[in-house]
Structure 1
Amino acid sequence: MFSNRERAAFSDGTVKREGQVYKHSTLKYPHRLNFYDRPPLEDVTIEEFETCAIDRLRILAEIESSFVRNRSFEELKTVTNAQCLKYLPLHSSTATSEDLEGERRKDHLGHFILRLAFCRSEELRRRFVKAEITLFRVRYESDDTKEREEFLSSRDFDWIAVDKDEKEKFRRELLAASPNLKAELFEKEKFYKVKWTRVPDLVEKRRVFLKGGWAYVPSREQSSIIFQAFQSSLERALEATARALPRLDEDTRIMPILNNLSQGFLAGVPSEWSGNDGSSANGEAIKAEMIDDLARKHFPLCMKNLHDNLRRDRHMKHYGRLQYGLFLKVLGLSIEEAIAFWRKSFSKITEDKFNKEYRYNVRHSYGLEGKRANYAAKSCQQILMNDQPGPGDSHGCPYRHFSEDNLQSALLAAYSHQGLTSSDLPEIMHAVKSQHYHVACTRVFEITHAGSGVGTVKKGEGVGGGESVTHPNQYAARSRELEKAKIESLGGNDDVPMKGEEGGGDAMVLG
């Protein structure tokens, strides 16, 4: 899979590097922690190439979402560890029943594949480095102490241990620079000397003693040296890969994958959730007459907007029908119910015109005409990046394609009955202005499912486990699951009132 030029792109400037010392092990990947110095030198199938990259990108994209959502590091660590366990597990070397070689190989390959995708601009490199250093830090702090020490001893970090005499000579200064270090523990604390440029974060926070260009780093701050070394190493590697990339053979199978991967921070990566095969996510088929109520309670804003426009105009252009029709298909609408729904919705046209111009398209989307493909519903990434809406169109993502004023008005109109208020808008608009549209949608999901009658989602939980919304059907499926759980907890009473309503009330009929 990797050509000689691709391997050269990884290797150029990344192998003979300061601080790189290997103490060989019988294992190809002896440690869970990895500086990714050695490029992959093996054949990889196109399927494995894509899988390794996407699963790693899921984690990096969620890390970036955590930055936008101002999660504390502890919250970020919890979410990241959960995501890693699901998509990219790295078990301890003592876990003899696990495929350690396979896990670490996947981690290694995914990192290098994403280097190809994210090396192509300064902005992409910056975001990739920030997410990767955070992932490394989470793993470092979660690693087994013994294994972490073995990893550190396998590399030369170019620090100098401060001997007893020098340590005593600067006792007062070292204690002053380490306010959390008690005097009675000073003798047991180890210190290391590095050039002050190696620990700019500690210098900025005045947590090290500086003398003659050297920074005296206590062992409790040792991780700062390691993180800075990882960051510098990765930055140089990305720059080398970027210089080599134009010389690579443009494999027509690989370049589209790399282009899609580089968009992962913008739209997130579609998560693996049940239901995208055309069946209802919760195993229940839906009827055409149920859609008004479902739209009011469970749809993300993109689908609410399509539904409202359809009810208002009694018509919808091609891309809108495609986006909404596939969403309804995966939601659980059968072909018979879909034809009934669209026929009733297009009430301005005659039966003959509908049969000639629209019935075929509905059947085609269900795989019953044409090449008979079973089309999947569009993910957030596809909606954001493909088939941009023009004048008169209603498809697309409102968080990206609406003006700021129109978006805020649409949010209040769509979700005020579920507890969203104008005081929630600044936080949502902050994510929109940062171009993290799926994060804005996730925050709306949390607000509208926080004890509103269809769930008790807490801030930061997203659609489960801290995961962000990355697919409209994922949003709707999770919303319906929460409502079902709420009804069951109330003994089967499906008249669940929403926040701001008196006893539930009748479903609002749109149109």
Structure 2
Amino acid sequence: MFKGTERKPFHDDKDLVQVTNHGSLRYPHRLNFYDRPPLYDVTVEEFETCALDRLRILAEIESSAARNRTWEELKTVTNAQCSNYLPLHATSARTVERDSERRKDHLGHFVLRLAFCRSEDLRRRFIKAETTLFKIRYDADDNAEREMFLSSRDFDWMPVDSAEKSKYRKELLGSYQGARNESVREQAFEAEKYYKVKWTRVPDLVEKRKVFLKAGWAYVPAKEQSSIVFQEFEVHLAKALELTARSLPRLDEDTRLVPILDNLSQGFLAGVPSQWAGSGEAINSDDIKAEMVDDLAKKHFPICMRSMHDNLRRDHHLKHLGRLHYGLFLKVLGLSIEEAVVFWRKSFDRLTDDKFNKEYKYNIRHSYGLEGKRANYAAKSCQQLLTSSDHGCPYRYYSPENLQTALLSAYSSRGLTSADLSEIMSTVKATHYHVACTRVFEITHSSFGIKKGAGTGDDESVTHPNQYAAKSMELYKVQQNSAEAMVVE
């Protein structure tokens, strides 16, 4: 599959599907059960990029569930993410590369299967997120195109004829849910089509008493037909993931792919790294001086960097990995190399100048790309910190008691109270670490107009320490400028 840059078609020419009024498409539908694996060559870069863009959407779906967003809010956020990273235009949209869009969607799904098939927990979370994405796309699809998709598959449902519907009219009408007005509900019932399936295929409808059960069959009204489709999608994906898991050991010898899959599988723990992860450049336009760091830490730092700063002030020292993480964070925040040397020298005030210059100054300059191979190192993302138990993410590595103490100590002056800890700790227990951090941001920035569920102010979860700090500093600056403008008036 990864022999080079040559690309082969997904289907043979004989498999091209003629779509009425829209020409021939290799992928005739936006909706997809992903039955057939991608049988073409792709580059390693495309392999990773397609999966990462899809993972951004799935991670946001899971994050939304953990943040208790409503279904309408979830659809709005997901559709916005899809528009940015994985657009799928309708078949009638002839001015866009529909096959290209659907090819990316298809490839990304199968790459993530490889990443998330390796444990029961990852499979469960992947199935839930993918099914939610399918539901959102199903609801948004054009009615005619949705019907074409349904007609292209055998869902093994049996249409109920008029005689059978009449025979069980009383029972069917009793389970039919519609308008409260009885006459309106009966009119809708008379026009409704019904399908029979084994009751085990629609457990959600059985639970909600939306279907009539007879001899092991569930009589499903057409308006609830989607439940059959969604259940079929979920069951199909679960079986496919189990098959993939049994085949995965064959990939162990490919040193190019395993690191990528390991990185992708961390996506549900930390969210998907944002733009902050990809650059070693400073993101703050204002120059930050060494003497400003103490105040910035109290007002704007996430708990991971706040804890490192507090440890540095307490011990006048940090271990190598801590210096690396914290130093790169400050660098991207806007601390210049000259100010960084001043900051670390004052922090290590128990060392002699000679010892500091010999053992520490070189590493500081190295992190800024001024020594060694002169690489422009990026700050560590939440995902990277989650895999580092030494100076890693406190939400993952602190004990519950120590984490609660650290949070109250750091943020009680910013509005966090002990009453907020229950919600935060429940997300930590569910391993939604970035959601917990995002909730802390929302609480501590409520005075800036950040509401619950708003993330960092743009519906994004925290996925990078520099994202947290930069957004906090931005909100503070906007508020400060607004106050100054009012004084002038």
TM-score, L = length of structure 2: 0.92
Q: Tell me if structure 1 keeps the 8 A contact 2:31–2:134.
A: yes
Letter of the 2:438 counterpart: T
Q: Tell me if structure 2 keeps the 8 A contact 1:302–1:397.
A: yes
Instruction: Summarize deviations over 1:302-344 as a string: whole Å, max 9, x none.
Output: 0111111111211111111001000000001111110011011
Instruction: Summarize deviations over 1:272-295 as a string: whole Å, max 9, x none.
Output: 24x853333242231111111111
Query: 2:303, 2:456 → 1: CA distance?
Result: 15
Q: Tell me if structure 2 keeps the 8 A contact 1:282–1:481.
A: no
Aligned residue in 2 for 1:462 = 455
The structure with more helix, counted as a fraction of residues = 2
Q: CA deviation at 1:64?
A: 1.5
Q: Are 1:261 and 2:264 an aligned pair?
A: yes
Q: CA deviation at 1:42?
A: 0.8
The residue correspondences of 1:165-244 to structure 2 (distance < 5 A) are: 165-180=163-178, 182-244=185-247
Q: Given the superposition, is the C-alpha separation of residues 492 and 357 from structure 1 closer, same or farther in structure 2, using an over 3 Å criterion?
A: farther
Aligned residue in 2 for 1:67 = 65
Q: Any idea what SS the aligned residue of 2:220 has?
A: strand
Instruction: Summarize deviations over 1:331-364 as a string: whole Å, max 9, x none.
Output: 0111111001101111111111111111000001
Q: Which runs of 5+ in 1 are unaligned?
A: 4-9, 11-20, 390-394, 495-511
Aligned residue in 1 for 2:145 = 147
Q: Identical aligned pairs, as a percentage?
A: 70
Aligned residue in 2 for 1:271 = 274
The residue correspondences of 1:299-338 to structure 2 (distance < 5 A) are: 299-338=301-340
Query: 2:286, 2:85 → 1: CA distance?
Result: 28
Q: Tell me if structure 1 keeps the 8 A contact 2:329–2:465.
A: yes
Q: CA deviation at 1:140?
A: 1.0
Q: Tell me if structure 2 keeps the 8 A contact 1:22–1:154.
A: no
Q: Tell me if structure 1 keeps the 8 A contact 2:2–2:44.
A: no
The residue correspondences of 1:240-255 to structure 2 (distance < 5 A) are: 240-248=243-251, 250-255=253-258
Q: Which has the higher contact order (CA 8 A, sep 6+)?
A: 1
Q: Tell me if structure 2 keeps the 8 A contact 1:191–1:216.
A: yes
Query: 1:487, 1:460 → 2: CA distance?
Result: 24
Query: 2:50, 2:370 → 1: CA distance?
Result: 34
Aligned residue in 2 for 1:505 = none
Letter of the 1:103 counterpart: E
Which residue of 488, 491, 496 corresponds with 2:481?
Answer: 488
Letter of the 2:449 counterpart: T
Q: Tell me if structure 2 keeps the 8 A contact 1:310–1:316.
A: yes
Q: Tell me if structure 1 keeps the 8 A contact 2:16–2:25.
A: no
Q: Given the superposition, is the C-alpha separation of residues 348 and 493 from structure 1 closer, same or farther in structure 2, using an over 3 Å criterion?
A: farther
Query: 2:355, 2:486 → 1: CA distance?
Result: 43
Letter of the 1:307 counterpart: H
Query: 2:385, 2:115 → 1: CA distance?
Result: 21
Q: Any idea what SS the aligned residue of 1:412 has?
A: helix
Q: CA deviation at 1:194?
A: 1.0
Which residue of 39, 62, 83 corresponds with 2:81?
Answer: 83
Q: Given the superposition, is the C-alpha separation of residues 423 and 145 from structure 1 closer, same or farther in structure 2, using an over 3 Å criterion?
A: same
Q: Given the superposition, is the C-alpha separation of residues 371 and 63 from structure 1 closer, same or farther in structure 2, using an over 3 Å criterion?
A: same
Q: Given the superposition, is the C-alpha separation of residues 249 and 365 from structure 1 closer, same or farther in structure 2, using an over 3 Å criterion?
A: closer
Aligned residue in 2 for 1:392 = none
Q: Any idea what SS the aligned residue of 2:25 has?
A: coil
Q: Tell me if structure 1 keeps the 8 A contact 2:316–2:349.
A: yes
Aligned residue in 2 for 1:37 = 35
Letter of the 1:466 counterpart: D
Instruction: Give RMSD over aligned pairs.
Output: 1.9
Which residue of 127, 130, 134 corresponds with 1:129?
Answer: 127
Aligned residue in 1 for 2:296 = 294
Query: 1:364, 1:256 → 2: CA distance?
Result: 26
Letter of the 1:306 counterpart: M
